[in-house]
Amino acid sequence: MPSSRLRLLLLVAVVRGAMRPGAVNNRFPDDFLFGAASASYQVEGGWDADGKGEGIWDRMFHEHPEFSRDGQNGDVADDSYHLYKEDVKLLKELGVNHYRFSISWPRIMPTGEANNINQPGIDYYNNLINELLDNGIQPMVTMYHWDLPQWLQDLGGWTNPIIVDYFEDYARVLYETYGDRVKWWSTFNEPKSFIMGYSRDDGLIAPSIKKPGVGDYLATHHLLIAHARAYHLYDEQYRAKQQGKVSIALNTDWHEPLTNSTEDIAAADRAMQFDFGLFAHPIFSTEGDYPPLLRERIDNNSKAEGRTRSRLPVFSKEMVEYIRGTYDFLGLNYYSTTLVTSGLTGDNPSRERDSGIIESVDPSWPTSPSSTWLKVVPWGLRKLITWIHQNYNAPTIVITENGYSDHGTLEDTERISYYKSHMTEVLKAMNEDGAHVIGYTAWSILDNLEWNSGYTERFGVCYVNISDPARPRTPKASFYYLKNVFQTHEIQDTTDGSR
Ligand code: NOJ
């Protein structure tokens, strides 16, 4: 029998979330949410079907087919526009609680304007949502997974402040149309990734406009305001009757100092601030606004460049308050880790250069056979979750993406190992560090168009044969492995998907 002091300490630890009584690192709580994810442009196809408008990825790949590594684009992709019922069947068999998918803005609003609604597009998502619910699966909807209507891009896209009004209109249409059934919303997927569409012109991300250190910060500024608008709109007009949750899905690699030197530790912190804090601090921190470190560095650099104002726009006091706290949970995408030291690299000016960091990897880390950037570092996920827990007020976290790529083998034992080791680290963050993680979402249900890498990087737990016009789907071994985990809530110690 523990002494009363020990009992008290244990109780405090449990109440503070520092540990879960009886928790083990291979078992998820009974109410833990498992899911799988996709995104409209990567799976739907039907790029101009039934009145859909042109998106920025349509325009980019049609004008620059050479940007695609294997010549594939999203014109047909996995044809989920027609085959969504098959997708839902697979999701049901996988045993997910939720399906995280995105809505294509130009499919339902061809120009992005709310006075121009495309009914067949609206119907498509109604059908998908109803099919999911009929099969006991919760829709978890991303409003923006990078496919902006080209019409809005022609006005400057995310660099024009007017986009905020258009995004709010779009969010209103979504809440009005689908909010009776959708209870999980994310405004944006991976702002860190899509702002690169305004800093480089190599086709990595549409619209592929090279204005580094300026365009990407403008886009950041406006998407943060747009996010807050959509959140407040929900709060004021929909939350009471629809009772859902609204947030944002952020991504970053974990950045580990290259050595124990003070300089490297500071550089790794800077990397976290530039990659994650830029978006998280205004929303999730106690003080709100951009991280002070970024404000200072970018303001100083801008001054030194002889500018009259900072390249990083300034929020008014009112706007800081307006954005602060606009979340019901934090969506987190994690894939990999880098080592960081200080140094200058990248275009001058650029966000990269402003951050003053140089990244490398440990050669001993295993690499995905198809994505050179994807080093397998499971402990990075735990460190990231715990860092977020400690720095941003212990938010409720849903892992909105985590996954592994290869060339499409059905016996994907490495993907199974990846899932196994990463889920174990999630549990460690929960059980040993007290983080509040309530869900885990595998990327992806299907092999799909990996943006400019086409189908050369396949992340699916189901194989998709893209040489066949019928786009047949075949579950891989990892599908059966995850099915088992999702069913039992226990991480099985095997690397073959026992069928
Ligand atoms: C992040 C993105 O959200 C998704 O679109 C992409 O396919 C995966 N990561 C894999 O790179």
pLDDT in tens, 332-351: 999 999 999 999 999 999 99
On the question of pLDDT at 244 being above 50, the answer is yes
| pLDDT confidence tier of residue 18, bands split at 50, 70 and 90 | low
Q: Which residue has the higher pLDDT, 18 or 477?
A: 477
Given a contact cutoff of 8 angstroms between Cβ atoms, the answer to whether 218 and 209 are in contact is no
Determine whether the shortest distance from the Cβ of 39 to ligand 1 is under 6 A: yes
Pick the closest to residue 351 from 156, 194, 216, 158 (CA basis): 216
Q: Name the residue of 401, 406, 418 whose CB sits within 8 Å of the most ligand 1 atoms, as the mutation to test its pocket.
A: 401
> Residue 84 carries which side chain, given as an amino acid letter?
Y
DSSP lists the bridge partners of residue 140 as 100, 184
Ligand 1 atom, smallest distance to 405 CA = 10
Q: In what order do the strands lie in the sheet with 357-360?
A: 254-257, 337-342, 357-360
| pLDDT confidence tier of residue 252, bands split at 50, 70 and 90 | very high
Q: Both tokens of residue 298?
A: 């970018």
On the question of pLDDT at 294 being above 90, the answer is yes
Closest residue to atom 5 of ligand 1, CA basis: 39
Conformational region of residue 198, where left means phi above 0, alpha means psi within -120 to 50, and beta covers everything else: alpha
| DSSP character at residue 467 | T
Phi and psi dihedrals of 436, rounded to 5?
-100, 80
pLDDT in tens, 183-235: 999 999 999 999 999 999 999 999 999 999 999 999 999 999 999 999 999 99
Rounded distance, CA 431 to CA 437, Å? 10
Q: Where do the structural domains in the chain lie, given as residue ranges?
A: 4-488
On the question of pLDDT at 6 being above 50, the answer is no
> Residue 107 carries which side chain, given as an amino acid letter?
R
Phi and psi dihedrals of 119, rounded to 5?
-60, -45
Alpha-carbon distances of 330 from 27, 39, 238, 449, rounded to whole Å: 22, 18, 20, 26
Question: The tokens 């709060």 sit on which residue?
Answer: 235
Which whole number is the average pLDDT over 128-134? 99
Rounded distance, CA 293 to CA 301, Å? 12
Determine whether the shortest distance from the Cβ of 333 to ligand 1 is under 6 A: yes
pLDDT at position 496: 63
On the question of pLDDT at 17 being above 50, the answer is no
Rounded distance, CA 476 to CA 414, Å? 12
- What is the dotted CATH code of the domain comprising 4-488? 3.20.20.80
Given a contact cutoff of 8 angstroms between Cβ atoms, the answer to whether 150 and 106 are in contact is yes
> Any catalytic annotation for residue 190?
yes
pLDDT in tens, 417-457: 999 999 999 999 999 999 999 999 999 999 999 999 999 99
Pick the closest to residue 173 from 243, 228, 118 (CA basis): 118
Determine whether the shortest distance from the Cβ of 443 to ligand 1 is under 6 A: yes
> Residue 253 carries which side chain, given as an amino acid letter?
D
Q: Which residue has the higher pLDDT, 416 or 24?
A: 416
321's CB contacts (< 8 A; 6+ apart) are: 288
- % of the chain with per-residue pLDDT over 90: 93
Determine whether the shortest distance from the Cβ of 273 to ligand 1 is under 6 A: no
Write down the catalytic residue from 54, 352, 401, 414: 401
Pick the closest to residue 224 from 155, 274, 153, 164 (CA basis): 164
Closest residue to atom 2 of ligand 1, CA basis: 190
| DSSP character at residue 463 | E
* Helix (H), strand (E) counts: the chain: 19, 13
* 98-102 vs 138-144, strand pairing mode: parallel
* Dihedral over alpha carbons 454, 460, 465, 470 (to 10 degrees): -100
Alpha-carbon distances of 219 from 159, 196, 293, rounded to whole Å: 5, 9, 20
pLDDT at position 19: 63
Write down the catalytic residue from 190, 359, 425, 450: 190
Pick the closest to residue 312 from 387, 212, 234, 170 (CA basis): 212
Say how many Å lie between the CA of residue 449 and the centre of ligand 1. Answer: 10
198's CB contacts (< 8 A; 6+ apart) are: 157, 158, 159, 207, 209, 211, 215, 216, 218, 219
CA angle 465–79–499, rounded 5-degree value: 50
> Any catalytic annotation for residue 236?
no
On the question of pLDDT at 5 being above 80, the answer is no
Q: Name the average pLDDT for the chain.
A: 96
pLDDT at position 23: 87
Given a contact cutoff of 8 angstroms between Cβ atoms, the answer to whether 383 and 424 are in contact is no
Say how many Å lie between the CA of residue 448 and the centre of ligand 1. Answer: 10
On the question of pLDDT at 12 being above 70, the answer is no
On the question of pLDDT at 2 being above 70, the answer is no
Given a contact cutoff of 8 angstroms between Cβ atoms, the answer to whether 394 and 330 are in contact is no
On the question of pLDDT at 313 being above 50, the answer is yes
DSSP lists the bridge partners of residue 146 as none
pLDDT at position 204: 98
Pick the closest to residue 283 from 250, 310, 251 (CA basis): 250
Given a contact cutoff of 8 angstroms between Cβ atoms, the answer to whether 81 and 44 are in contact is yes
* Dihedral over alpha carbons 89, 94, 98, 103 (to 10 degrees): -50
Pick the closest to residue 232 from 323, 129, 365 (CA basis): 323
pLDDT at position 1: 36
Alpha-carbon distances of 273 from 130, 198, 268, 327, 425, rounded to whole Å: 40, 20, 9, 19, 23
Q: How many CA atoms lie within 13 A of 125 on its CB side?
A: 31
Q: Both tokens of residue 173?
A: 């249409």
DSSP lists the bridge partners of residue 332 as 250, 399
